[in-house]
Amino acid sequence: MSFDTWLAFFVAAWLICLSPGPGVLSCVTAGLQHGFHTALWNIAGLQAGATVTLIVVGVGLGAVLAASPLAFTAIKWLGAAYLVYLGVQQWRAAEAPIRAPETAVPGLAAVKVPRALFLRGLIVNSTNPKGILFTASVLPQFIDPKAPQLIQFVIVWCTLLFTDVCCMSGYTALGVQALRWLQNPVIARITNQVFGALFVLAGIGLAVFKHAV
């Protein structure tokens, strides 16, 4: 992976991690209910879930990319189209305020708080179909099929880990303020439109992106 390719992925990773979603809501509510230090267990769970998704997707993508340049190109355009689709959906989302999710794991209340938060983060990221599809469709844009892939996936994982921990820590630290801010329907509409536009721009960027030789 060239430095230019990594830099493009680094920018994309920040956009992905900063965009509102289940992980953000999990961090906001964990910070609000349990404080910053305890809520770090939730962030650890989110990273474990993201790692599971990356491994599952990466193992399958490696063989496809190495064997078929046509498949690589097809997935590239799928990724660009999916980003634009997400942007349109985000822009057109209802102006309803974002609300804290309820715990949906049986018996979770009986488990100690750190373990409960870790499990919640793990489940949120590893069972999110949008996250899995997003990883499967976008990741190939930054993987060179002609170069050793294991080291590239390690670089991608470390980059995502760094950016997501930074972003989720910020959302957790601002839990109370962020939750109140996102519950304002006017701000929710503006947030939807801003991130919708960012997704569309990211999709266009992926469509014209080429691997550095």
Mean pLDDT across 179-194: 70
Which residues constitute the domain of residue 138?
Answer: 3-208
Give the pLDDT confidence of 91-125 residue by residue, as tens digits.
Answer: 776 555 455 444 444 444 445 788 888 988 888 88
Q: What percent of the chain has pLDDT over 70?
A: 69
- Greater confidence (47 vs 89) lies with 47
- Greater confidence (179 vs 169) lies with 169
Q: Whole-number mean pLDDT of the chain?
A: 75
Q: Kindly state the tokens that stand for 3.
A: 């430095």
Tell how far CA 40 is from the center of its chain: 17
* DSSP code for 127: S
pTM for this prediction: 0.66
- What pLDDT sits at residue 166? 93
- Greater confidence (71 vs 164) lies with 164
- Alpha-carbon gap, residue 160 to 58, rounded angstroms: 14
Within a domain: 159 = yes
Structural domain count of the chain? 1
- What pLDDT sits at residue 44? 95
pLDDT-derived band of residue 57, with 50, 70 and 90 as boundaries? confident
- Greater confidence (131 vs 116) lies with 116
Q: Which residues contact 3 (CB under 8 A, 6 or more apart)?
A: none
- Alpha-carbon gap, residue 30 to 38, rounded angstroms: 8
Within a domain: 213 = no
Length of the chain: 213
Within a domain: 189 = yes
Within a domain: 201 = yes
- What pLDDT sits at residue 182? 62
- What pLDDT sits at residue 47? 93
